């Protein structure tokens, strides 16, 4: 039987309730995490196993050469982990101008010159060492099994795989890794990734060290040299993830926590800080006024983020200055309820991606995200170990006179980053680990779904399912086709330049949510998984 795998009818997912839960954008990855909990592991063990598995099951979004970030509640306090990688030592504006011309304002979008040091494997090792219960090698077992035996390709992943093929098929190692028959696999077709199984075994046996100072590192540098890259053994060996203090913003009695710059999580905090100056619940949840206010707050946030956020060692302003209540009130005063505006950055100085989350009955909760960025990232795949590499270097500037001079490329510097995990707390106690994937959609999704839950009482799955909008540049807004027609027309009448989009994969992101219902041993958690991807929330 040749089935039609399109989905002609709208369907609703139901929230899942359990004392131990894992929510990811692919069922096999969620089950990999659950296997670790059933084996006696905790939420961190589950998250690492799920993260390793999803590099195989959703390669259109991440791989063994990804970057990662994490926020976790260990039962006592929050911890943040920045596992984004720095630029190779050879990278300078002159390096790129010599190779690509003086008109180039960014590194290239694809190829080795878009690849900074990958941090995801380092994140797995650091999390396991500090918070895990099970042996690190055990956490790699499900991913190795999936890569070796293969899995049947799901609908959403296949669509993105096929769409990326014409763009990436000529890049080093891509066809060998991801086009086993000279094309993208079909829905339901078995895909095996034996090279990645080899890489995962080396990572498992060395607790990740092989990636940065062993056989995988040597293979990466050799492949880089063969194809004009600048990565060196020293670049890889010097890499360490960084433990950081989350930054936060209070909103209607709760506190949203994000990773500090070089990530864009501060955009969600700025937007919520602006919305604190309005009585948002007085407007209908899907009405024109509520959506207009949220859109304008988000645009104001992005105006500052794109101007100031970079590696924190180089920023002109501090996160505290950007989140100062008086400054955010002054930004809120710029919003006109009768028209859309194209906001510019203020002066706060005084005078592509997978997301997963897991929680266990002992109270540990982890919010974890890793990404190759634009779909398959750089398009480069090291063939011996199946290392699909991200393209985060593209977000550097090579123009000293650009919008954000602090983000100018330099050796050992981390670029502006889009992937952001989120964590909600109340009075210093954990409430929800969550995230929404999808480039610049991520802080927008954090804000939109949180407003639905906190201001309008929608449960996590309903907030996840609800139609979204996405700010672009200027007055341009994308809205999902399911958004209320009257609201769409009303936003257009206010001057928003709207495009109704049917493809939700990247345009509107995809989320995973775990909300703590009370004592995890008694009430447990309620979890949600976004229908915009092939995901699943599972628990026991």
Residues that are catalytic = 353
Q: Token pair for residue 325?
A: 């209540």
Distance in angstroms (rounded) separating the CA atoms of residues 71 and 80: 5
Q: Token pair for residue 346?
A: 């203020």
Task: Mark out the alpha helices in 468-509 (DSSP H runs).
Answer: 485-493
Q: Is there a contact between 51 and 368 (Cβ–Cβ < 8 Å)?
A: yes
Q: How many C-beta neighbours within 10 Å does residue 401 have?
A: 8
DSSP assignment string, 217-258? HHHHHHHHHHTT----HHHHHT---EEEPPEEEEETTEEEEE
Q: Token pair for residue 83?
A: 């596992």
Residue the block writes with tokens 């190759």: 372
Q: Token pair for residue 461?
A: 């799955």
Residue the block writes with tokens 């993830």: 241
Spell out a b/e string for 32-64, using b for 16 or more CB atoms within 10 Å of the CB, else e. Answer: bbbbbbeeebbbbbbbbbbbbbbbbbbbbbbbb
DSSP code at position 417: B
Choose among 440, 484, 423, 432: nearest CA to 458: 432
Distance in angstroms (rounded) separating the CA atoms of residues 236 and 282: 53
Q: How many C-beta neighbours within 10 Å does residue 89 have?
A: 15
Distance in angstroms (rounded) separating the CA atoms of residues 45 and 24: 14
DSSP assignment string, 187-219? TT-EE--HHHHHHHHHHHHHTTHHHHHSHHHHH
DSSP code at position 337: T
Contacts of 329 (CB under 8 A, 6+ apart): 277
What Å distances lie between residue 314 and 88, 336, 351, 407, CA to CA? 17, 34, 20, 8
Contacts of 210 (CB under 8 A, 6+ apart): 202, 203, 216, 217
Contacts of 394 (CB under 8 A, 6+ apart): 106, 107, 108, 109, 114, 373, 374
Choose among 118, 112, 86: nearest CA to 99: 112
What Å distances lie between residue 432 and 281, 283, 302, 377, 526, CA to CA? 21, 25, 24, 29, 9
Q: Are strands 422-426 and 354-359 parallel, antiparallel or unpaired?
A: unpaired
């Amino acid at each position: 039987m040749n089935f039609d795998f399109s989905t002609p009818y709208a369907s609703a997912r139901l929230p899942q309730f359990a004392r131990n839960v894992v929510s990811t954008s692919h069922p096999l990855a969620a089950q990999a995490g659950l296997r670790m909990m059933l084996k006696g592991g905790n939420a961190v063990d589950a998250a690492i196993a799920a993260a390793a598995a999803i590099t195989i099951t959703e390669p259109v979004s991440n791989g063994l050469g990804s970057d990662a970030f994490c926020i976790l509640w260990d039962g006592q306090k929050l911890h943040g982990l920045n596992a984004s990688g720095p630029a190779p030592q050879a990278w300078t504006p002159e390096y790129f101008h010599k190779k690509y011309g003086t008109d180039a304002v960014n590194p290239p979008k694809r190829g080795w010159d878009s690849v900074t040091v990958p941090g995801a494997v380092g994140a797995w090792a650091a999390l396991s060492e500090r918070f895990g219960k099970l042996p690190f090698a055990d956490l790699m077992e499900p991913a190795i099994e999936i890569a070796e035996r293969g899995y049947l390709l799901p609908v959403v992943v296949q669509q993105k795989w096929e769409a990326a093929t014409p763009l990436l098929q000529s890049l080093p190692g891509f066809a060998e890794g991801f086009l086993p028959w000279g094309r993208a696999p079909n829905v339901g077709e078995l895909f095996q990734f034996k090279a990645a199984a080899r890489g995962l075994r080396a990572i498992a046996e060395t607790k990740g060290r092989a990636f940065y100072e062993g056989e995988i590192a040597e293979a990466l540098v050799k492949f880089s040299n063969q194809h004009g890259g600048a990565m060196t053994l020293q670049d890889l060996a010097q890499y360490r993830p960084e433990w950081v203090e989350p930054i936060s913003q209070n909103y209607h009695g709760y506190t949203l926590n994000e990773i500090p710059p070089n990530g864009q999580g501060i955009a969600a905090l700025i937007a919520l800080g602006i919305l604190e100056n309005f009585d948002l619940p007085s407007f209908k949840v899907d009405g024109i006024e509520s959506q207009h206010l949220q859109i304008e707050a988000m645009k104001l946030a992005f105006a500052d983020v794109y101007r100031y956020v970079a590696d924190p060692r180089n920023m002109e302003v501090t996160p505290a200055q950007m989140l100062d209540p008086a400054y955010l009130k002054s930004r809120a005063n710029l919003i006109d309820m009768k028209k859309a505006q194209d906001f510019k950055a203020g002066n706060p100085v005084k005078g592509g991606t997978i997301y997963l989350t897991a929680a266990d009955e002992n109270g540990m909760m982890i919010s974890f995200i890793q990404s190759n960025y634009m779909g398959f990232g750089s398009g480069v795949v090291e063939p011996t170990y199946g290392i699909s590499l991200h393209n985060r270097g593209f977000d550097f500037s090579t123009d000293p006179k650009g919008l954000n001079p602090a983000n100018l490329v330099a050796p050992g510097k981390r670029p502006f980053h889009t992937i952001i995990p989120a964590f909600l707390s109340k009075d210093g106690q954990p409430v929800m680990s969550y995230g929404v994937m999808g480039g610049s959609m991520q802080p927008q999704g954090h804000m939109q779904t949180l407003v639905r839950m906190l201001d309008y009482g929608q449960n996590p799955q309903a907030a996840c399912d609800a139609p979204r909008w996405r700010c672009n540049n200027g007055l341009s807004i994308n809205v999902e086709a399911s958004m209320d027609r009257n609201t769409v027309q009303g936003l257009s009448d206010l001057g928003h330049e709207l495009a109704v989009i049917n493809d939700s994969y990247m345009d509107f992101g995809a989320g995973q949510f775990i909300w703590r219902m009370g004592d995890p041993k008694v009430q447990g958690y309620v979890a949600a998984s976004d229908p915009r991807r092939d995901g699943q929330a599972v628990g026991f």
